[in-house]
A and B are shown apart, each in its own frame.
Chain A
Amino acid sequence: MDIDFEQVNFTYQPGSPFEQRVLYNINMTVKEGTYNALVGHTGSGKSTILQHLNALLKPTSGNVKIGERTITSETNNKNLKPIRKKVGIVFQFPESQLFEETVGKDIAFGPKNFGVSEKDALELAKEYLSLVGLDESYLERSPFDLSGGQMRRVAIAGVLAMEPEVLVLDEPTAGLDPQGRREMMAIFEQLHQTKQMTIVLVTHLMDDVANYADYVYVLEKGQLVKEGVPEEVFQDVQWLQEKQLGVPTAAAFAKRLEKKGMTFKKLPLTANELADELVARRGESL
């Protein structure tokens, strides 16, 4: 399933004294089976875009095609559930959405809302709990009993258990320790690889973009100012640094080598790419 934005504009509270225009003429396509990253400063409208992906928000003008359905400002609020089922969103700090008595019930909550039977939902809960790295003994525990990192995993399992086709992640690793962050990113990568899940990731960490994404969108003040494969987008290190958007560490480091006189045809984005490049040129006098 593709998701297509056509000339999407969005304004919060239109017509009130507090009206605020947030998105300007957004055109983008999330292709089935791809891994997309969305980057941009605080307040640039990333979360607002995300909420259009499953019709939590409707464009003020323009339209969003989600699979077969087209969402416009006129779209009725009824019958949106099929969309919500296909597009799963993990919001920022998702642990704040836990509410059930037990971890198992909480994970099963989403599937049950989409018509899965109680029993099957609990099966799904078991499956996805282990996928996020927690064993079955957690099923019966209260979610409020867990550590922050464990709660995060449970909340993510709750979205995964809906078995969405598109998984949308709003800074899923914020506040975790580095190891937790790594494990989390590995889980998403695995889902992408094995289940061909389409992924949309909002992040401030350019290294994650370089490591995982196939395609990047750069958002600034509600406008898409750049898009492309990471290799292209990150070539323009100076532009990114001027905008204070950050660049992958390896690219920034390569830039330092360039200052010394080394030239790269294509800036490396990861430590491995840089190491390959260096080894290839070992002993070369520049």
Chain B
Amino acid sequence: MEPIINLKNITFRYQGEQTRAALQDVSLTVNKGEWMAIIGHNGSGKSTLAKTINGLLLPETGSVSVGQLDLNEENVWTIRKMVGMVFQNPDNQFVGATVEDDVAFGMENQGIPREEMIPRVKEALEQVKLTDFASKEPARLSGGQKQRVAIAGVVALRPDIIILDEATSMLDPEGRQEVISILKEIKEKYQLTVLSITHDIDEAANANRILVMREGRLVDEGTPAEIFSEGPSLVEKGLDLPFPERLKQALKDRGVTVPETYLTEEGMVDWLWTSILNK
């Protein structure tokens, strides 16, 4: 496994923020091709962490490297080329006047010739299934569609890493579903590394690894199975309980002995079937 993002002992403090640093001594390695979810309460420092990765914020202490490059003033634009970001509010990241203009915005910034932009815009829009919307204005799109445009803008740049900062939290379930399934497709197709900040368990369940943040620190890390098996303490960490865990809890409250390990829905059905009902 080849590491692609490396944070060492990052501390970050916002200007005028006296009480505590937004990030305190955070170290983190993300491997190539991984899907990593970051969870934690509102204000725990997730967005701040994401922004230090591509140099939108510069840490007080510690070092950041992406690919083989150390983040510094010289490399920052190269690193931003490698890291695509999708933010929370669909309205506040749409720069272009129409869908295709917005997809092209990042490429324009990199000085990619127009002849090359045209097929890339087309391909990216196909990828997010918005080909018919190329000339539409943002005001005519739903939230989910706007986020897909943002993803297309990232895809068009052929990055290695995509960071989603609560990209689905302002969407309705349908929009959320659209975005997640598109994301899965492009991750496979382009061999991307995904870092997704989320409060949504279904989204976190897609990850290979989950990181938990609290008050500016990384406090826990593990596979979804490991993290989800922690039961009710998960809520305090800023995530909902997956349904099988909730059911296990309810059964436990009723005096039923339940397995300690994490069960997926499938696993839960099997267990109930064999141990509870047909014993």
Residues of A in contact with B (beta carbons under 8 Å apart): 41-43, 147-149, 174-180, 182, 204, 244, 246, 249-250, 253, 256-257, 260, 262, 271-272, 274-276, 278-279, 281-286
Interface size on B, residues (CB 8 A): 39
**Interface contact A42-B172, CB-CB below 8 Å:** yes
Taking CB atoms, residues of chain B closer than 8 Å to A244 are 174
Residue of B nearest to A250 (CB): B243
Residue of B nearest to A149 (CB): B42
Given contacts A257-B272, A275-B251, A276-B254, contact A42 B277 (CB under 8 A): no
Taking CB atoms, residues of chain B closer than 8 Å to A178 are 199, 235, 238-240
Given contacts A244-B174, A246-B173, A282-B277, contact A260 B250 (CB under 8 A): no
**Interface contact B175-A42, CB-CB below 8 Å:** yes
Distance A149 CA – B169 CA, assembled complex (angstroms): 13
**Interface contact A271-B265, CB-CB below 8 Å:** no
Taking CB atoms, residues of chain A closer than 8 Å to B189 are none
Taking CB atoms, residues of chain B closer than 8 Å to A278 are 251, 256, 272, 276-277
Distance A246 CA – B235 CA, assembled complex (angstroms): 23
Residue of B nearest to A274 (CB): B247
Given contacts A271-B250, A274-B250, contact A41 B272 (CB under 8 A): no
**Interface contact A179-B236, CB-CB below 8 Å:** yes
Taking CB atoms, residues of chain B closer than 8 Å to A176 are 42, 199
Shortest Cβ gap from B105 to chain A (Å): 25
Distance A174 CA – B254 CA, assembled complex (angstroms): 32
**Interface contact A279-B265, CB-CB below 8 Å:** no
Is B249's beta carbon under 8 Å from chain A? yes
Known: A178-B238, A271-B249. 19 other contacts (CB 8 A): A42-B142, A42-B172, A147-B42, A174-B170, A175-B166, A175-B169, A177-B42, A177-B199, A179-B236, A253-B269, A271-B247, A275-B251, A275-B256, A278-B256, A278-B272, A278-B277, A279-B255, A282-B279, A284-B277
Shortest Cβ gap from A41 to chain B (Å): 7
Distance A249 CA – B268 CA, assembled complex (angstroms): 13
